[in-house]
Amino acid sequence: MWDQVTSSDRGNYGAAIALAAISFMLLRKWIAGGVCKSHARLDGRTVVITGANTGIGKETAKDMARRGARVVMACRDLTRAKNSAEYIRRSTGNGNVVIRHLNLASLCSVREFAKEFKATEERLDILINNAGVMMCPKCITEDGFETQLAVNHLGHFLLTNLLLGMLKRSSPSRIVNVSSVAHVGGKIEFDDLFFDKRPYSSLLSYKQSKLANVLFSRELAQRMKGTGVSVYCLHPGVIRTELNRHVLAWYPMLKTILSLPSMLLMKTPWQGAQTSIYCAVTEGLERKSGCYFSDCTEKDPSPEGKDDEVARRLWEESVRLVGLNNRH
């Protein structure tokens, strides 16, 4: 009798383990989201990716190189960028991968990058504004801007505008802005963009900067109609990258508590890069210019992300802040 009970229990345990394994695989597949299925080649094309030395930027750069593109990795940390570029060249067999210094927290650095790029490169087919910071302590850049809005929005705003001429000459071309679902509930506080008057909140600042990405994409798409330049923004997913390092520094216990759940419930950098890649290469996507994507599918942004009046006002204020002659 004992043997029979034990055998039955073992069968139940085995069934439970099998069910758990299947459930885990289905959960991981759901979390992974969409995968870019385009086999488009990019031979003869030039791609610029900001923040390409780590995380989803590195995976995006690797994919672009595998498709045959000339990849320009625009990075602040040149040592890490050099190591990543060597890895990408070696793993893809594409030696046409170069690094250029770009510090998005400095308008001077952005202008220097654009000046050098236009002087040395013949074309620009895809610009992927990938770099970003998340929920960092309040810091003020050399230009007097709060860091999250400066890096996540204003630096990319200036960079994109300075490279628009090359993008137009190389058309059909694309601009891909990496935003976040965190834009939901965000607000552009025009009277206090840099938290000079109110207590600083790293979360509210991050949400404002990610909403700015969505609104910038929407307004830019309108301005680029008829030029052959299309614009997309996206939420890459919740990913295991270094982007959350400031949150973990403030709450070190979270690193231990979240280590196992993060392995189970977060995307890998490769999975997180798929929507960026999708927006960059998928054929026939031009008619979706200005749209917001997640998991390689068009999604509705938040109501705040569809406010054309705020988008136009943000554009005008951004032009003033970065000192850009409004010719676009």
The residues annotated as belonging to the active site are 206
The residue count of the chain comes to 328
3-state DSSP helix/strand/coil percent for the chain, to nearest 5? 55, 15, 35
Whole-angstrom Cα distance, residue 76 to residue 97? 16
Biggest distance spanned by C-alpha atoms of the chain? 88
The per-residue b/e assignment along 23-33, b for 16 or more CB within 10 angstroms, e otherwise, is eeeeeeeebbb
Nearest to 271 by CA among 70, 30, 80: 30
Q: Is 166 helix (H, G, I), strand (E, B) or coil?
A: helix
Whole-angstrom Cα distance, residue 55 to residue 128? 14
Whole-angstrom Cα distance, residue 157 to residue 171? 19
Radius of gyration in angstroms for the set of CA atoms belonging to the chain, rounded to a whole number? 22
Would you say 75 and 52 are in contact if contact means Cβ atoms under 8 Å apart? Answer: yes
Which amino acid, residue 276? S
Q: Is 239 helix (H, G, I), strand (E, B) or coil?
A: strand
Alpha carbon of residue 259 to chain centroid: 23
Q: Mark residue 284 as left, alpha or beta (left: phi above 0; alpha: psi -120 to 50; beta: remaining).
A: left
Q: 229 - beta bridge partners?
A: 173
